[in-house]
Structure 1
Amino acid sequence: MTALLDTIEKHERKFLIGIVITAFLISAAYSIFYKIQPIVDAEAYDFIAQNLVSGEGYRLETDVPLAKDRVIIRVGPGYEFFLAAIYAIFGRYLWIVWLFQAAFHAISAWLVFAIAKLVFKESWHSLIGIGAAALFAFHPDLIIASSMLLTENLAIFIMLLTIYNAFSYFEKTSTAKAVLLGLLLGLLVLVRANLGVLLFPFLLAFYFKKQFLHLLFFLLLFAAVLTPWTIRNYSIYHSFIPTAVVSGNNFLAGNHPKASGELDDSRYEFVKKYKSYDLITADKQMFKDTLLYIIQNPAHFAKLTIYRTSTYFSFLRPTGWWPYLEGWEKLITLLASATYSIALLTLGAAGFLLMLKRRVGEKDYSLGGQNRFTIFLILFLGIPLAVIFITVETRYRYPIYPILAMLSSYAIYAIARRWESILKLTQISFLFLTLNAAFDFARNFSRILEKIGKL
């Protein structure tokens, strides 16, 4: 084992370059081989981008007044403008989008390495970074995500850029880094608004460093990025809308009398009564009514939150049910995704527990090291909290995968070094997650059998 660790450390750069290049090639090859055409959300993003390029503006339905266009209830506008930029420069060639997204995926693997090097500074070994980069780069779910016109690939790329800049700022503060952090977080929110939850661990970085002027610059740039789109929306809808109008609909989808905590068809029964409202009023009313329902039925909300948490961390939620996959391809994809889920969730949980144990129990860490761990742990907890109270689907947990990759690799290094208690923590993690999978299976027995029957 020592020889292997020495080899990885000696050839760190070669391993990293190999992982990044291979990640790009696999992602690009997968995209070009399957040529996945846009459907549902992807089709909407594609159509909006085409309208932007053609001069129709940010539109989904060009045959209705803009204020009634359902475009405002689509996640955006960041990804749509990204697509529009590519279409405007190169034309509407999906393979060019796929190449860009393959590059984002590959660079993201490098960013995972770079972030791990900053986070695990006190106990750094090349294995931690190389392992994290590899676990991220070759995750089947993320390779598939890079092959579709969905927000996740771009969102994860910008998220990792933002996190890297945050820990780089924590390492050495500067006004430029604070400004860049605000800019990146603003762009991230425009692509995927729920990831704005990262604001809270970032605020801790400024607090720990006592850099309140930098905090002001950060907040000003963050607001400045969102302001133009907010003003545009206010001029059309006469309402404060920084990104899109999705909060009320999503909140209702996951919290109603027949809700399962997931995005299923049961929600349609409860949205009918809002058809007479305009889009903005309907969303606001859905949010108010759902909040009132939760206040009146706290036990049901608690049960749904437990279900959503179970779903989010379940082994039984692999990616692979996409319509373009059939037969053996679907089965292989499901098995690969499930295997990755078991490994990443188990080792990631063990790494989290180890990190928490060392943060609380060890006295040889500097104050800076302890604070760095605190920011990272809150970041890890914050990403799932952004969706667990609303609704959960398998792809909603993609943003946690790079964090789990880092924690998993940290656990792998601890196992290689035979650190005290790491095997016990891994066993506890696996046992707990297996029980959670059994709970998920028991709750969704008929659905799981139905899906298995379709293989």
Structure 2
Amino acid sequence: MPQTKRLNYLLLLVLLISAFIRCGVAVYVQRQLDRQPDRTYVIEGDAEGYWKLAQTMKHGEPYSIYTPPRRVLRMPGFPVVLAGAMSVVGESHARVRLVLALLGVVTCFVVYLLGKELVNETVGVLAAGLSAVSPVMAGFSVLFLSETVFALTMLISLWVLVKLSNIKWESTDRNRGILWSLLAGVSLALAYYVRPSWLLVVPLVVAFYILSARGHRKAAVQRALVLLAGFTLMLLPWVIRNYQVTGHFVPTTLWAGPSLYDGLNPRATGDSDMTFFDQEHVLDSMTEYEMNQHYTQRAVAYAKQHPGHVLQLMAAKLLRYWKPWPNAAQFQSWWMMLAVSVVFVPVMVFAVYGAWVSRNQCLLLLMTTGPILYFSLIHLVFVSSLRYRLPAEYSLYILSAVGICQLYVSRFQKKEIHP
């Protein structure tokens, strides 16, 4: 059987395994919750908020929740996905979980596409396989949380950026380069609509793109401007809507301030504890915009006055981010910790080896290690946990697959893998 055909069959098998695991987890999670009448979500708070926002969209109501109304609490990307699922299968938690499970399968497929584009089909299939059997990835894919959908949109944006990077600078490819630059801007915006912290990637991509274009600076600037135009056009509806409801320019959300204060306050530990928000009732006397500014200023002031505690918190957050097992108390059972660690530790070892053998391949290293290091830095400031690392693990698995393949090739004295 030809190698390509064999890999296609393996990919199909990987996707079927991914679907089987995720649908099974969806059924299991829903049954466990059904046995607890006083509990609706695995992780309360965020999940309930996303679900209610999705319901407002489906019913054509104003995009807000709580009293006083919170109109710019969350980016609309994930609620749009939930609302779309509700429109197809109804407002059933069980059925919507199955839709999210299938999106998890699509995410594994995009891992394959990115791995294939960066290295080759073998690496792509293996990386998709690692993603398919990951307990954490399977578990989070059926929760009403944005991690898996963000991973999907982020991976698509990375794949588009790789496709763009592979287009030559010659004038014959000018139109193709412009098209993929526009798609890059759009795909980055889609990921941003799910997770606003992805915003800082845009200037980093533009700077890298221009600086790395030796001898083709004019064409690089042109493509960068098209990318920025695509991103800006996608962002405009959200910015205009926010200005209409708040009277202010708000490109992200008005929850960044409380989130920042959650990570930088006298009682901060690196874990999330938003009880201060419920206790202080600042929205009784402030607008949503003023509240966001209020907590941002308090967090910055505390950081300036207590640099020693900030450094301690950074160390604690770094540990929480990279810890092989979950941080949350509800996931501290020995079998959960073991299942997560048994996958994550070897994956990291293979990723380190993959990075070493690929140390001269800048694009590969950027696309695989860049996201996980980027979010590691972000969450030195905000609260941190495995949950915030999870989306970036998908692209890291490509580097793990490179390490595994390289060891296999070395052992059996086969030809070295090259992208």
- 1:386-405 to structure 2, matched below 5 A, reads 386-405=378-397
Deviation, 1:393, is 2.1
The residue identity in structure 1 corresponding to 2:79 is: E
Q: Deviations over 1:336-388 (max 9, x none)?
A: 11212222233333433443xx32xxxxxxxxx54554455444422322322
- Retained in 1: the 8 A contact 2:326–2:386? yes
Query: What SS is found at the alignment partner of 1:70?
Result: coil
The residue identity in structure 2 corresponding to 1:208 is: S
- Residue 304 and residue 334 in structure 1: after superposition, are their counterparts in 2 closer, same or farther (change >3 A)? same
- Residue 14 and residue 206 in structure 1: after superposition, are their counterparts in 2 closer, same or farther (change >3 A)? farther
Q: Deviations over 1:86-142 (max 9, x none)?
A: 32344223344223322221122122122122223xxx571x222211111111111
Partner of 1:165 in structure 2?
A: 160
Query: What SS is found at the alignment partner of 1:174?
Result: helix
The residue identity in structure 2 corresponding to 1:113 is: Y
Distance 1:7 1:391 in 2: 49
Identify which of 205, 209, 219 aligns with 2:209: 205
Partner of 1:16 in structure 2?
A: 11
Partner of 1:385 in structure 2?
A: 377
Partner of 2:262 in structure 1?
A: 253
- Residue 292 and residue 377 in structure 1: after superposition, are their counterparts in 2 closer, same or farther (change >3 A)? same
Distance 1:318 1:288 in 2: 28
How many residue pairs align between the two structures?
386
- Retained in 1: the 8 A contact 2:265–2:299? yes
Partner of 2:313 in structure 1?
A: 304
- Retained in 2: the 8 A contact 1:198–1:383? no
Q: Deviations over 1:294-351 (max 9, x none)?
A: 12322322221122112111124367936xx9xxxx5533321121222223333343
Distance 1:370 1:158 in 2: 22
- Retained in 2: the 8 A contact 1:166–1:205? no
- Residue 84 and residue 405 in structure 1: after superposition, are their counterparts in 2 closer, same or farther (change >3 A)? same
Identify which of 393, 400, 405 aligns with 1:413: 405
- Retained in 1: the 8 A contact 2:18–2:133? yes
- Residue 115 and residue 309 in structure 1: after superposition, are their counterparts in 2 closer, same or farther (change >3 A)? same
The residue identity in structure 2 corresponding to 1:55 is: G
Partner of 1:117 in structure 2?
A: 116
Q: Structure 1 residues 273-282 or 136-145, which shifts more?
A: 273-282
Partner of 1:429 in structure 2?
A: none
Query: What SS is found at the alignment partner of 1:264?
Result: coil
The residue identity in structure 2 corresponding to 1:13 is: N
Deviation, 1:408, is 1.5
The residue identity in structure 1 corresponding to 2:114 is: I
- Residue 348 and residue 140 in structure 1: after superposition, are their counterparts in 2 closer, same or farther (change >3 A)? same
- Retained in 2: the 8 A contact 1:19–1:137? yes
The residue identity in structure 1 corresponding to 2:280 is: K
- Residue 25 and residue 312 in structure 1: after superposition, are their counterparts in 2 closer, same or farther (change >3 A)? same
Deviation, 1:270, is 10
- 1:157-236 to structure 2, matched below 5 A, reads 157-172=152-167, 174-203=177-206, 204-205=208-209, 207-209=211-213, 210=217, 211-236=220-245
The residue identity in structure 1 corresponding to 2:404 is: I
Identify which of 154, 162, 180 aligns with 2:149: 154
Partner of 1:334 in structure 2?
A: 337
Deviation, 1:10, is 7.1
2:54 equivalent to 1:79 = no
- Residue 343 and residue 201 in structure 1: after superposition, are their counterparts in 2 closer, same or farther (change >3 A)? farther
Partner of 1:49 in structure 2?
A: 54
Partner of 1:268 in structure 2?
A: 276
Partner of 1:88 in structure 2?
A: 87
- 1:304-453 to structure 2, matched below 5 A, reads 304-317=313-326, 321=330, 331-355=334-358, 358-359=359-360, 369-374=361-366, 376-418=368-410
- Residue 393 and residue 377 in structure 1: after superposition, are their counterparts in 2 closer, same or farther (change >3 A)? closer
- Residue 186 and residue 30 in structure 1: after superposition, are their counterparts in 2 closer, same or farther (change >3 A)? same
Give unpaired runs (5+ residues) of structure 1. 1-5, 360-368, 420-455
Deviation, 1:161, is 0.9
Q: Structure 1 residues 40-49 or 309-318, which shifts more?
A: 309-318
Distance 2:315 2:356 in 1: 20
Q: What's the RMSD between the two structures over aligned residues?
A: 2.8
Q: Deviations over 1:246-268 (max 9, x none)?
A: 21111110111221112136x62
- Retained in 2: the 8 A contact 1:119–1:376? no
- Residue 271 and residue 185 in structure 1: after superposition, are their counterparts in 2 closer, same or farther (change >3 A)? farther
Query: What SS is found at the alignment partner of 2:323?
Result: coil
Distance 2:351 2:280 in 1: 42
Distance 2:300 2:388 in 1: 22
Percent same amino acid at aligned positions? Answer: 21
Distance 1:278 1:225 in 2: 27
- Residue 345 and residue 197 in structure 1: after superposition, are their counterparts in 2 closer, same or farther (change >3 A)? farther
Distance 1:338 1:69 in 2: 41
Query: What SS is found at the alignment partner of 1:114?
Result: helix
- Retained in 1: the 8 A contact 2:264–2:299? yes
The residue identity in structure 1 corresponding to 2:59 is: S
- Retained in 1: the 8 A contact 2:271–2:385? yes
Partner of 1:440 in structure 2?
A: none
Q: Deviations over 1:45-75 (max 9, x none)?
A: 11222222223221213xx5xxx413533x3
Distance 1:383 1:88 in 2: 33
- Retained in 2: the 8 A contact 1:25–1:102? no
Partner of 2:171 in structure 1?
A: none
- Retained in 1: the 8 A contact 2:375–2:388? no
- Retained in 2: the 8 A contact 1:197–1:382? no
Deviation, 1:206, is 5.1
